[in-house]
């Protein structure tokens, strides 16, 4: 199920290469022709990448080809970053003294040496992309664009086995009360049921649809599985088919409208629109207008994963479907994993089953997936493997939990997919602080906007709101300065599954391609970090127990991670930040927050012209900043104490307080 992200990364690089800023850079350095070749090669390969990503599960060769292309895209991104860094250095030189300019010219990064070095690198990048482009012919790939990606269709139906539904009595009664409510307005009342994929929205709707009191109350019951394509003509065909069994595929819209009106005319109907993704209000009003022929008392229930859809469709408060209790989850699990009464003979397996149910975090489809998986075995070791395994490592069938959740991911726009997958670098049950997450996204270049002057913070907030509305985040809490939220464990598993070669949390070192890493110093020594850190872009060293680490160890990590954009040393306890921090030319986010031992920052930190955020919150010992801090011309956010804030204001660096929450 792993994604390659090649399409998204190539798009991001192409956007950079096509920007006005890089147009100016290419002209200034006389490399416009080479940049144009890069753009053409990238665009030609990207055109077939979506087809390759859909087929890669069937071909190891194709998967490796995608990996090579993705790595090449990252290398091109690093290459064009170097031009940006050189441009920042030029701006610093204009602020500095003549002596500084002379020293800079005769250093290893003078303009002539830089032009020669970069010319060679661009040539090599073009050769590499040409080789990758030549290889694509072997796979017979076709060009596809994001708008015509074919997602897996999900068809649902109205039948449900009542005995397989546990713990939804209260929810069922709420919906039945809505259906039987005698009060009516001008519009047909619509109740949206909202929740993540697999939580049981469809099952609840099925349960209500088949309730005897509901059957007798309505003259007409209609079940329509909407899925992603909100095509009005197709919906009319489905509604008529469900209502009277008539197949109208060959009719035009006018004919369908007449049949639909005859079908609904004067009848009190109950309609379930299951799995709605459309958030276009105009399309929804068009469908609603077609249903106005029903009698007073007609009702509609909509199931959706999106709060935005619920807002558009609902005439009453949406119903947020709660997770099943642990007790109900265990009952459902035992019902599926054993034949009736058999669990009494297997106390050892029931005990393991309790641990498995904890993994499901109240999501019914996860319980069903794992219960059904274990029905065929009574071997204790098999059950322990499921209990102890990450869910995304288990073999999944088409209708299992990750497949259901993956459908939500497939519907994300490309600019959100990387942001979502990145969240898996932070451990399960992590409480995200919006400011902290936006800073990390920004440092990694994930924030894309169609509006020229939109602030990064506004873009990031918009992304978070989109992910919240689509149920990827939950437990939203609005605080005074920012807001926090969490990610459901199964959604975290999904994020890991789509980015397992990109992101590594919980110290799982799968490949040498890891680009974002969380490492817990409370549990492991930094000497246990993987040897290959050359591709790393984000390194978050957690140290909740205050064990800290030595300056020499941090210096070694820095020397092996030259492409870092994010370095999080929160709550470390070393006294000196290593001088070789100067080599992290692409570093945009650095936090030393809550380090009570550090007294000063090295002068070499002033070489980090790309640095956007410097977090010194809680570093009580730092009372002044290096005098050349003014050369950090990209620095926009400094968190510190009163003394550092005063110093920063002198250089027009506005203090900006935030933490991980």
pLDDT at 150: 37
At 609-627, the pLDDT tens digits run: 999 999 998 888 888 888 8
Residues in the chain where the model's pLDDT stays below 70: 1-4, 95-109, 145-154, 157, 159-160, 163, 228, 397-399, 480-481, 500-501, 504-512, 522, 524-528, 544-549, 642-661
- CA dist 310 and 468 (Å) reads 13
- CA dist 522 and 199 (Å) reads 35
pLDDT at 510: 47
DSSP state of 152: P
**Count of C-beta atoms within a 10 Å radius of residue 214:** 18
pLDDT at 157: 66
Entry pTM: 0.77
3-state secondary structure of 344: helix
Question: Among all chains, which residue has been given the structure tokens 């009163």?
Answer: 642
How is 334-398 classified by DSSP, letter by letter? HHHHS-TTGGGG-HHHHHHHHHHHHHHTT-HHHHHHHHHHHTT---HHHHHHHHHS-GGGS---T
Question: Beta 538-542 vs 613-615: how paired, if at all?
Answer: unpaired
At 240-293, the pLDDT tens digits run: 999 999 999 889 999 999 999 999 999 999 999 999 999 899 999 999 999 988
Quote the distance between the C-alpha of residue 611 and its chain's center.
25
pLDDT at 170: 92
For residue 373, the number of C-alpha atoms closer than 13 Å in the C-beta half-sphere is: 23
- CA dist 185 and 466 (Å) reads 31
pLDDT at 301: 97
Question: Among all chains, which residue has been given the structure tokens 């598993």?
Answer: 493
- CA dist 459 and 442 (Å) reads 9
**Exposure string over 619-640, b if 16+ CB within 10 A, otherwise e:** beebeebbebbbbbeebbbbbb
pLDDT at 553: 79
Instruction: Kindly report the backbone phi and psi dihedral angles of residue 465, in degrees, each rounded to the nearest multiple of 5, phi listed first.
Output: -65, -40
- CA dist 599 and 66 (Å) reads 47
pLDDT at 580: 92
pLDDT at 102: 45
pLDDT at 511: 52
Token pair of 539 as six digits: 């390194």
Decide: 284 and 278 in contact? Cβ < 8 Å.
yes
DSSP bridge partners of 474: 486
pLDDT at 660: 39
**Exposure string over 352-367, b if 16+ CB within 10 A, otherwise e:** bbeebbebbbbbbbbb
pLDDT at 33: 85
- CA dist 200 and 210 (Å) reads 15
Go through the domains of the chain in sequence order and give each one's CATH number. 6-148 (no CATH), 162-320 (3.40.50.300), 326-402 (no CATH), 411-488 (1.10.10.10), 500-650 (3.80.10.10)
């Amino acid at each position: 199920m792993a994604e390659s992200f090649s399409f998204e990364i190539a798009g991001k690089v192409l956007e950079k290469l096509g920007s006005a800023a890089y147009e100016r850079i290419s002209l200034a350095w006389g490399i416009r022709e080479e940049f144009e070749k890069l753009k053409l090669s990238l665009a030609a390969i990207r055109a077939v990448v979506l087809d390759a990503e859909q087929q890669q599960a069937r071909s190891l060769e194709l998967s490796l080809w995608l990996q090579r292309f993705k790595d090449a895209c990252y290398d091109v991104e690093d290459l064009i970053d170097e031009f940006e860094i050189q441009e920042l250095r030029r701006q610093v030189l204009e602020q500095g003294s003549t002596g500084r300019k002379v020293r800079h010219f005769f250093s290893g990064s003078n303009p002539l040496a830089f032009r020669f070095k970069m010319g060679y690198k661009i040539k090599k990048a073009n050769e590499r992309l040409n080789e990758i482009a030549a290889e694509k012919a072997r796979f017979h790939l076709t060009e596809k664009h994001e708008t015509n990606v074919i997602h897996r269709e999900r068809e649902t139906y109205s039948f449900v086995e009542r005995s397989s539904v546990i713990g939804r009595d209260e929810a069922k009664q709420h919906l039945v009360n809505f259906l039987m409510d005698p009060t009516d307005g001008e519009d047909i009342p619509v109740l949206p049921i909202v929740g993540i994929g697999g939580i049981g929205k469809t099952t609840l709707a099925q349960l209500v649809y088949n309730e005897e009191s509901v059957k007798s109350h309505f003259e007409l019951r209609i079940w329509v599985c909407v899925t992603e394509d909100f095509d009005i003509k197709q919906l009319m065909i489905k509604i008529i088919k469900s209502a009277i069994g008539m197949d109208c595929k060959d009719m035009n819209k006018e004919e369908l409208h007449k049949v639909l009106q005859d079908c609904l005319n004067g009848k009190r109907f109950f309609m379930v629109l299951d799995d709605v993704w459309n958030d276009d209000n105009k399309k929804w009003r068009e469908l609603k207008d077609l249903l106005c022929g029903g009698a007073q008392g007609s009702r509609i229930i909509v199931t959706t994963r999106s709060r935005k859809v619920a807002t558009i469709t609902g005439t009453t408060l949406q119903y947020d479907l709660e997770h099943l209790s642990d007790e109900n989850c265990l009952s459902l699990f035992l019902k599926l994993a054993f034949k009736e009464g058999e669990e009494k003979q297997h106390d050892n397996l029931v005990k393991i089953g309790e641990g498995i149910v904890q993994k499901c975090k109240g999501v019914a489809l996860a319980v069903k997936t794992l219960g059904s998986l274990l029905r065929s075995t009574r071997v204790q070791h098999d059950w322990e493997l499921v209990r102890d395994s990450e869910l995304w490592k288990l073999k999944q069938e088409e209708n299992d939990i990750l497949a259901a959740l993956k459908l939500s991911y497939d519907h994300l726009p490309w600019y959100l997919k990387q942001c979502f997958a990145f969240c898996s670098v932070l451990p399960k049950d992590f409480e995200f602080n919006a400011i902290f997450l936006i800073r990390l996204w920004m440092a990694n270049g994930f924030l894309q906007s169609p509006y020229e002057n939109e602030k990064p913070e506004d873009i990031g907030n918009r992304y978070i709101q989109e992910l919240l509305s689509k149920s990827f985040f939950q437990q939203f809490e609005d605080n005074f300065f920012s807001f926090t939220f969490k990610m459901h464990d199964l959604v975290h598993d999904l994020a890991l599954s789509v980015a397992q070669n990109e992101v590594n949390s919980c110290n799982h070192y799968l490949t040498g391609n890891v680009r974002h890493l969380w490492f817990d110093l409370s549990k492991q020594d930094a000497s246990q970090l993987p040897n290959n850190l050359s591709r790393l872009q984000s390194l978050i060293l957690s140290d909740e127990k205050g064990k800290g680490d030595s300056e020499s160890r941090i210096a070694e990590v820095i020397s092996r991670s030259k492409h870092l954009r994010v370095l999080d040393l929160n709550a470390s306890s070393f006294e000196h930040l290593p001088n070789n921090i100067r080599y992290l030319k692409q570093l945009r986010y650095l936090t030393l927050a809550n380090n009570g031992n550090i007294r000063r920052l090295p002068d070499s930190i002033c070489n980090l012209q790309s640095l956007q955020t410097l977090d010194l919150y809680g570093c009580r010992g730092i009372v002044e900043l290096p005098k050349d801090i003014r050369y950090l011309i990209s620095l926009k956010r400094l968190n510190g104490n009163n003394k550092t804030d005063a110093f920063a204001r002198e250089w027009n660096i506005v203090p900006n307080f935030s933490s991980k929450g």
